[in-house]
Amino acid sequence: MDFSHIPVLHEQVIEHLQIRPGGIYVDGTVGGGGHSSEILRRLEDGLLVGIDQDDAALAAAEKRLSAISDRFVLAKGNFVHMDAILDENGIDRVDGILLDIGVSSHQFDTPERGFSYRFDGPLDMRMDGDGDIRAYDIVNRYSADEITDILLRYGEERWAKRIAEFIVSERNIQPIDTTFRLVEIIKKAIPAKVRRDGGHPAKKSFQALRIAVNRELEVLEEAIPMMVDRLKPKGRLAIITFHSLEDRIVKNTFKYLHQDCICPPRQPICTCNKKREIRIVTRKPVVADDAELATNNRAHSAKLRVAEKL
């Protein structure tokens, strides 16, 4: 299957990154090279660093970017390891960083990756195929309480406890090894009236398992301060998120990095020594316009937030 992925908020990303022809830019989730290809076109003597933990994405990006220019390097890894990747390439500070968080269309549409409840495939969900934990391991080995916690925390699933109980009961009969078998169990756990009134009953559970498998929220929270530190003055960090949990982390982390002092209000002298690190460029998240929504369904939930290094 070809790696196909329509980049969301494409024009807005390019506009907010304010690309300099001689600058160094990092796409921490390069995917098939959708956003990166436009960044690369605008570089004359600069450099693009593309990072992704998906081998298929890197292969697709290599092919796409090579047709434009040779002023890029690609590295396999999670964006949380950007520090090490930049060091390995002899790069100190960069002019801009982009993250497009979430699962690509290619990953969703490849049944053997196990991301989607729409296709039958193995319960995997690893963005990095070499990762240690699969969705299969969580579903078949974690306790009911641990599964409940994952479904509540990462999926905000109202029926988390009941779904976890049904999972444990069913796996005692036979291991749960495919996406469709898990979907059937979730459907059994959620009352029929609720299933009829809402969207797909497995949507929140699959989201929660994917986030847990890939440690998506922990990695994002850990990575933002590090990425800001690697920016040059006036360098920009642009992050696209696709659900409220991610967006909340970006919003709150930007807010913290924008603060000049975090001492208690009544304390007469600052002892925290915290200094403001960024200017928040987008006070409200940038969302897709009607034209993009009409052509790219994935854009409906996309939110772009941008910060500039002081």
Annotated binding residues for S-adenosyl-L-methionine, written as ranges, equal 33-35, 52, 79, 100, 107
Instruction: Kindly tell me the burial class for residue 1, based on how many C-beta atoms sit within 10 Å of its own C-beta (0-12, 13-18, 19 or more).
Output: exposed
- Whole-angstrom CA distances from 204 to 32, 211, 249 are 26, 11, 19
Q: Which residues are annotated as a binding site?
A: 33-35, 52, 79, 100, 107
Give the relative orientation of helices 203-214 and 144-155 as an angle to the nearest 10 degrees: 100
Query: Which amino acid is present at 259?
Result: Q
Q: What is the DSSP letter of 97?
A: E
Distance in angstroms (rounded) separating the CA atoms of residues 7 and 272: 41
CA distance 274 to 266: 17
Q: The tokens of 123 are what?
A: 């319960």
CA–CA–CA angle 241, 219, 4 (5° rounding): 50
